[in-house]
Amino acid sequence: MANRERTIQLHFMATPRERQLIAEKMALLGTRNLGAYLRKMAVDGYIVQLDLGSVKELVSLLRGATNNLNQIAKRANETRSIYAADVEDMRERYAELWEAANKILLELAKIS
């Protein structure tokens, strides 16, 4: 043991499903050495931290647009007419939705 380069032992627990996933990923790489695989992933693996603020903003805009659309549909059913202001409001809301969706797509495109 005195000649070993790696003298620090690490230990962690996994569920049977997690162990199965590790084995599947090892098989995809063609490696059978669990220690080498885990060491490589711990040192060189990717860390993905998602900021879902943009998605939350998009969901909020979707809720607002959906509520607006429901109100317009209700009014149209009651009065049999649609107001130009309602149509313009919906155009503005959908423009905001597309802007938020495009922002998310640009952020996702940066992940490589």
What average pLDDT values come out for the chain (112 residues) when binned by 10 residues?
84 96 94 93 83 86 88 87 86 89 86 68
pTM over 0.75, yes/no:
no
Q: Which residues contact 111 (CB under 8 A, 6 or more apart)?
A: 48
Instruction: Kindly list the distances between the CA atom of residue 82 and the CA atoms of 21, 93, 95, in Å, as whole numbers in the listed order.
Output: 55, 17, 20
- Identify whether the C-beta of residue 61 lies closer than 8 Å to the C-beta of residue 97: yes
Assess whether 29 and 57 both reside in one domain: no
Q: What pLDDT is attached to residue 13?
A: 95
Assess whether 21 and 64 both reside in one domain: no
Domain-located, residue 6? no
Domain-located, residue 2? no
Q: What pLDDT is attached to residue 87?
A: 85
Assess whether 59 and 94 both reside in one domain: yes
Assess whether 63 and 93 both reside in one domain: yes
Domain-located, residue 25? yes
Buried b (16+ CB within 10 A) or exposed e, 60-95: ebeeebeebeeebeeeeeeeeeeeeebeeeeeebee
**What domain range is 89 assigned to?**
53-110
